[in-house]
Amino acid sequence: MQTLTPSAQATDLSTILEQIHTEAQALFGQGRVASYIPALAEVAPRQFGMAVALVDGSTYSVGHAHTPFSLQSITKLFTFVLALKTVGDNLWQRVGREPSGAAFNSMVQLETEKGIPRNPFINAGALVITDILTTRYAHLDYALLGALRRLTDDPDLSWNARIARSERETAHRNMALAYFMKSYGNFVNEPELVLDNYCRQCATEMSCTQLAQATMFLANGGRDLGRDGQQDEQFLAADDARRVNALMLTCGAYDAAGDFAYRIGLPVKTGVGGGIVAIAPGVGTIAVWAPELDAKGNSVLGAFALERLVQLTAWNHTP
């Protein structure tokens, strides 16, 4: 096994990414593009991009790493962080911190657990987070975009209105989840308003290089890297960054979280747009995108690429 330190030379990491890109080609056709959101079904399947951003400020990429894609459930990571920054530990009165072991849109546990979602990353939990933020922000979509634009240094970053509309028109199960939680008193705002915000949130688009940059604070003790002579920004408290990573490790891939932890061993967050972001604390971040999904809604090539990366770098062994 080849082992790289955080100061890995560009030639080494670039060679590894090229190797992974080549190996991944054999997996095309083993998954299917998400079809339950009509606009996502139109995405060309045979695409693969990967970007690695290190805490020293260097970035490496391969394939379609600069192609924007729909973040979908990866945005749950950012709204969770925003809610944690806004309301702190009061968050845990309305959502749990345990793996669900169920599909991302399951309703089963809500009834037995009296409307409290298991964690912030399943749909029910993410809807509660969006409800909390809808109360706090008159225009949540712009508040979230403001944070993401700051993290990516891209003032033009936005959400795709066509995808948001397509998602909103097919959000029947999410609406049912919202009303069910409201019946238990765990939903404050009107579900229609929250769903509008939620669908715009999920339709946010980034490239792999932008996603790796936007999550750097989770690999860097809560600090976003300073650019253009600026100092690092303490975007999130270090203890909170550690806790977010812990939840990503245990809950970030839904009912495949255990398999991801076993195979990859890094905190991850997946999305049905085909993206996956992974955090190697103290080392850097990895973002991969390939829109063909497995039966559990996770990118086939993306999971393979992350597993190969940790095999070739041993970053999952880093304390």
Q: Give the residue carrying structure tokens 């399951």.
A: 106
| 277 or 105, which is more confident | 277
The reported pLDDT for the residue numbered 107 is 85
Tell me the average pLDDT across 36-62. Answer: 95
Residue 261 domain-assigned (yes or no): yes
Domain that holds residue 219: 10-72+204-317
Number of domains in the chain: 2
* Six-digit token string for 104: 């991302």
Mean pLDDT of the chain: 93
Q: 29-38, 60-69, 123-132: lowest mean pLDDT where?
A: 29-38
pTM for the model stands at 0.94
Q: Is 234 domain-assigned?
A: yes
pLDDT score for 319: 47
In this structure, are 258 and 169 located in the same domain? no
Alpha helix segments (H runs only) across the chain? 10-24, 75-87, 108-112, 123-136, 140-152, 161-169, 172-183, 191-202, 208-214, 216-219, 238-251, 257-263, 300-313
Q: Give residue 200's pLDDT.
A: 96
* 48: nearest Cα among 17, 16, 9: 17
Give catalytic residues, as residue numbers: 73, 76, 198, 254, 272
Q: Is residue 263, in this structure, part of any structural domain at all?
A: yes
Q: What angle do CA 192, 198, 200 make, to 5 degrees?
A: 105
Is the per-residue pLDDT at 11 higher than 70? no
